[in-house]
Amino acid sequence: MTLPAIARRALLALSFAAVLHSCGEYEEREVEVGYRGEARRNPYLAAERFAERMGFAVESRMDLPVPGPEVGAVLAPSEWLALDNERTRGVREWVERGGQLVVTVFGMERPAYPAWYAKGADGASTGGHPLFDEFSVEVEGPDEEDSLASMHDDWDLGRELVGGRGIFEGLQVNFAASGTLDLDAARSWSDRVGPPGRARAASFEVGDGRITFLVDGSPFWNGALGADDDAEFLWRLLRDAPRPRVWFVHGRDESIVTLLVERAPQFTLAAVLLVVLWLWRLSARFGPPIQEPPPERHSYLEHVRATGRFLRRNAGNASLVEPWRRRALRVARSGGALVDRHHEHAVEALAARSGLSPERVDAVLFGPVPTDAGELVAAIRDLQRCQRAR
- The model's pLDDT over 290-330, given as tens digits with 9 standing for 90+, comes to 788 787 777 878 887 888 788 777 778 888 788 888 888 77
Confidence of residue 151 (pLDDT cuts 50, 70, 90): very low
For residue 377, the model assigns a pLDDT of 82
Determine the average pLDDT of the residues in 128-132: 81
Lowest mean pLDDT among 36-40, 81-85, 143-147, 280-284: 143-147
On the question of pLDDT at 150 being above 50, the answer is no
For residue 101, the model assigns a pLDDT of 92
On the question of pLDDT at 385 being above 70, the answer is yes
* Between 289 and 102, residue with greater pLDDT: 102
| Single-letter code of the amino acid located at 57 | A
Determine the average pLDDT of the residues in 250-267: 69
Report helix, strand or coil for 57.
strand
The answer to whether 234 touches 54, Cβ cutoff 8 Å, is no
Determine the average pLDDT of the residues in 93-122: 75
Report helix, strand or coil for 73.
strand
Residue 51, burial from CB neighbour count under 10 angstroms (0-12, 13-18, 19+): buried
The answer to whether 132 touches 78, Cβ cutoff 8 Å, is yes
**Residue 194: left (phi > 0), alpha (psi -120 to 50), or beta?**
left
The answer to whether 46 touches 225, Cβ cutoff 8 Å, is yes
For residue 31, the model assigns a pLDDT of 66
Lowest mean pLDDT among 45-54, 68-77, 133-142, 228-237: 133-142
For residue 312, the model assigns a pLDDT of 75
Buried b (16+ CB within 10 A) or exposed e, 141-166: bbeeeebbbeebebbebebeebbbbe
For residue 246, the model assigns a pLDDT of 92
For residue 390, the model assigns a pLDDT of 64
On the question of pLDDT at 214 being above 60, the answer is yes
- Alpha-carbon distance of 121 to 128, in angstroms, equals 16
Neighbouring CB atoms inside 10 A of 55's CB total 8
Mean pLDDT of the chain: 77
Report helix, strand or coil for 245.
strand
Residues 168-200 pLDDT 10s: 888 888 787 777 888 876 666 668 888 777 888
> Phi and psi at residue 163, in whole multiples of 5°?
-80, 155
Of 9-23, 80-94, 140-154, 177-191, highest mean pLDDT: 80-94
On the question of pLDDT at 149 being above 50, the answer is no
Q: What percent of the chain has pLDDT over 90?
A: 5
Determine the average pLDDT of the residues in 119-126: 52
Q: What percent of the chain has pLDDT over 70?
A: 75
